[in-house]
Amino acid sequence: MEEIEYSMAVPSDKDDIILLLSQSKLPFDDISSHLPNFMVAKLKGKVIGVIGLEYCGDVSLGRSLAVASAFRRRGIAKELYRQILVQAQIKGIKELYLLTTTAADFFTGLGFRKTVRESAPEAMRAT
């Protein structure tokens, strides 16, 4: 079995990320400006998973977690989250927020708790 490689996204990953987000019905219009803060999972050089962060001071918005349908239920999403969490800690992030309409149970299982958008810091609400 081929080994999945995890790394920060590079410009050549952009088209694969957009395709994956599009297939997952997630927004991708602003990917270019946030690409350096994305982590990808690759198999044979092809992006099969992605997650990103948007930084707002010492808080961050987790976004764009997607795994190609053929590779779901293999722990890739959890590993992407674990790896991006390390990046957030390196950058000194004290709080991590996310918005989701489809993965609430997944993130609750990772220790997130539901809250209303209005309780997030102003900088976060403005993203």
**Range ranked top by mean pLDDT from 25-34, 62-71, 96-105, 114-123:** 62-71
- Summarised one tens digit per residue, pLDDT across range 51-105 is 998 888 888 888 888 999 999 999 999 999 999 889 989 989 888 877 766 777 7
Q: Rounded distance, CA 85 to CA 96, Å?
A: 9
CATH number of 5-125: 3.40.630.30
User: Beta-carbon neighbour count of residue 85 at 10 Å?
Assistant: 18
